[in-house]
Structure 1
Amino acid sequence: VKLLSYEEKWSELEESNNPFAIVVMAHLKTKATKGKPEEREKWKWILIRGLYPTFRTQ
């Protein structure tokens, strides 16, 4: 499976309870924010905050 194919399924990744979804999202945003350090930092925090509900429900 190519991780880039998940770009079109971003909303599914956001709704997923699978912790691997956040890894895929991080990879996609790393590719999308190359050369944009401010935007990359913003997305790092968004994704980190997104981990908390996943860990609380397991």
Structure 2
Amino acid sequence: MHTVIAAEALFFVLAFAKGAGIMLGYDILRAFRRGFPHGGRLVAAEDFFTGCSPGFCVFDVP
């Protein structure tokens, strides 16, 4: 039973770390957007990659 609880605890820690990393990446993007205003195409590209990156992270797509 101890190994099952340890595995669940590890899963929780990894999920928390991934979520924190995604939040950090989004905060960096927000700071970049406020510091350096730019055009619509670059914003659209940033939005696309900001939408895809968490999916790759969460679902572990290589």
User: Which category of TM-score, normalised to the shorter sequence, fits these structures?
Assistant: 0.3 to 0.5
Larger relative contact order (Cα-Cα within 8 Å, sequence gap ≥ 6):
2
Instruction: Look at both structures and tell me which one has the larger radius of gyration over its CA atoms.
Output: 2
Higher helix share: 2
